[in-house]
A and B are shown apart, each in its own frame.
Chain A
């Protein structure tokens, strides 16, 4: 088997994602749609109810794309932690494959699973147009602008999915290690570094009064940096699984 075939087989396996519930043997926790579907239904209800009275800028709804990197991180952490909760960690870690492939496949799978969970963004676009039709502001220019803006938001958030998936894997593997007491410290560091772009938001992106987002050149640089960081985090996760497991 070549490395690529192994990776393919592993990713294929990792695309299944669930958590065995502790109490009921019969129930599998699959939370694929648990937040997005009720969210969209409520959004639909609000729009239908308010109808012509909607006066606020519908571009606010694109802030929902902020959830995408968080989903990536959650899925990635869950992927590692669930092996233990589901009682399958022994099978996983005794696979005759190098540990970096085990980590890499979970990373790729987390990104793909996040993409699968991002269909709610299309729902937001449709509901936005529906709202414009109800309050009578619908026009080709406005719809185009609304959709383009949404596309930009989604693109920006997708750029952050791989590094956050890597971060999630790293955090997940920390729970396996003798260093698991460090987790709160790592969280603190994250919040601190997360503050950097927030402190100078204008450096990477600008959001104008009409809530249109524009990407600045520094953003590309920042994304490049976070991708380098993901590589480092994946390497760290591999090291933890090989060297300092607390198993």
Chain B
């Protein structure tokens, strides 16, 4: 139990008459980059929000880093919300101030280095940034935290190729430097699938398949093949 980053037991969450999570049971070991994969509406974002204590499940048990989700645990998690935007009246500098004053374990010098690496100008205003640039800024706010768990919900959504490459580079660098478990959900699987140490495939609020990525590769083929086989009907349109 101690070396599990996340444990979910029979977790359910209903929105109206749609089950976003439907008896989800999951164990994610700590360390490494974990892909949370599945078609739209499979429950990835709801799972992440329950881990952050934003959404309360209707039933089931969740343990994140050994404790119940909630604001106390969030001090140890860097979270990039789904479809997130940044405060449009901020500049890059003000966003870093926000991180320094409100987030524990926020390493400002690391954030400055990352901003430099990702070609962000400190005086640049968020209002008027391209989506890719804004996404880079938001990712910096996550990567600059020295925390044992990082949860990134669709960090590549609607982002140009160059920003995507820069984000992947920064993510890999940060995973090299610190002992962090990274949970990452994405649609851009062909760009990222080689990144995963561990993969979880979700469908309709349940875990369809999970395991060490290399074992899955030797057993079933590439992550994309697995997606195609598991979610044929959902993926063909994408």
> Which residues of A approach B to under 8 Å, CB–CB?
1, 6, 9-10, 12-13, 16, 18, 20, 25-26, 28, 86-91, 93-99, 243, 245-247
> Which residues of B approach A to under 8 Å, CB–CB?
15, 49, 52-56, 71-75, 77, 79, 81-90, 98, 101-104, 127-128
- Smallest CB separation, B130 vs chain A (Å): 9
Does B85 contact A247, Cβ atoms closer than 8 Å?
A: no
Does A94 contact B52, Cβ atoms closer than 8 Å?
A: yes
Does A94 contact B54, Cβ atoms closer than 8 Å?
A: yes
Contacts of A243 in B (CB 8 A): 56
Q: Bound state CA distance, A97 and B98, in angstroms? A: 14
- Smallest CB separation, B99 vs chain A (Å): 10
- Smallest CB separation, A115 vs chain B (Å): 19
Of residues A1, A16, A93, which shows the largest number of chain B Cβ atoms within 10 Å of its Cβ? A93
Does B56 contact A20, Cβ atoms closer than 8 Å?
A: no
Q: Beyond A86-B88, A90-B81, is A247–B54 a contact (Cβ under 8 Å)?
A: yes
Q: Bound state CA distance, A91 and B77, in angstroms? A: 12
* Total A-B contacts with CB atoms under 8 angstroms apart: 76
Does A245 contact B54, Cβ atoms closer than 8 Å?
A: yes
Contacts of A1 in B (CB 8 A): 104
Q: Bound state CA distance, A1 and B106, in angstroms? A: 13
Q: Bound state CA distance, A89 and B45, in angstroms? A: 14
Across chains A and B, which 6 residue pairs bring their CB atoms closest together, nearest first?
A: A90-B81, A87-B85, A96-B75, A96-B74, A9-B101, A94-B52
Contacts of B73 in A (CB 8 A): 96
Does A20 contact B85, Cβ atoms closer than 8 Å?
A: yes
Contacts of B86 in A (CB 8 A): 88, 91
Q: Beyond A12-B101, A90-B81, A91-B84, is A245–B55 a contact (Cβ under 8 Å)?
A: yes
Contacts of B102 in A (CB 8 A): 6, 9-10, 13, 95, 97
Contacts of B54 in A (CB 8 A): 90, 93-94, 245, 247
Does B71 contact A96, Cβ atoms closer than 8 Å?
A: yes
Does B71 contact A95, Cβ atoms closer than 8 Å?
A: yes
Of the candidates B15, B71, B77, the one whose C-beta lies within 8 Å of that of A97 is: B71
Q: Bound state CA distance, A213 and B89, in angstroms? A: 41
Of residues A86, A87, A96, which shows the largest number of chain B Cβ atoms within 10 Å of its Cβ? A96
Does A90 contact B79, Cβ atoms closer than 8 Å?
A: yes
Q: Which partner residue on chain B sits nearest A87 by CB separation?
A: B85
Q: Which partner residue on chain A sits nearest B49 by CB separation?
A: A247
Of residues A95, A243, A246, which shows the largest number of chain B Cβ atoms within 10 Å of its Cβ? A95
Does A18 contact B88, Cβ atoms closer than 8 Å?
A: yes
Q: Which partner residue on chain A sits nearest B55 by CB separation?
A: A247
Q: Which partner residue on chain A sits nearest B75 by CB separation?
A: A96
Does A90 contact B82, Cβ atoms closer than 8 Å?
A: yes
Does B88 contact A28, Cβ atoms closer than 8 Å?
A: yes
Does A99 contact B87, Cβ atoms closer than 8 Å?
A: no
Does A26 contact B101, Cβ atoms closer than 8 Å?
A: no
Does A26 contact B71, Cβ atoms closer than 8 Å?
A: no
Contacts of B72 in A (CB 8 A): 96
Q: Bound state CA distance, A6 and B52, in angstroms? A: 19
Of residues A89, A91, A98, A99, which shows the largest number of chain B Cβ atoms within 10 Å of its Cβ? A91
Q: Which partner residue on chain B sits nearest A89 by CB separation?
A: B81
Does A20 contact B88, Cβ atoms closer than 8 Å?
A: yes
Besides A9-B102, A26-B127, A86-B85, 8 other CB < 8 A contacts? A13-B102, A87-B83, A87-B84, A88-B85, A94-B74, A95-B74, A97-B71, A99-B71
Q: Which partner residue on chain A sits nearest B141 by CB separation?
A: A91
Q: Pick 19 A–B contacts, CB within 8 A, sort by A.
A: A9-B101, A18-B88, A20-B85, A25-B127, A25-B128, A28-B89, A28-B127, A86-B85, A86-B87, A87-B83, A88-B87, A89-B81, A91-B84, A96-B72, A96-B75, A96-B104, A98-B71, A243-B56, A247-B49
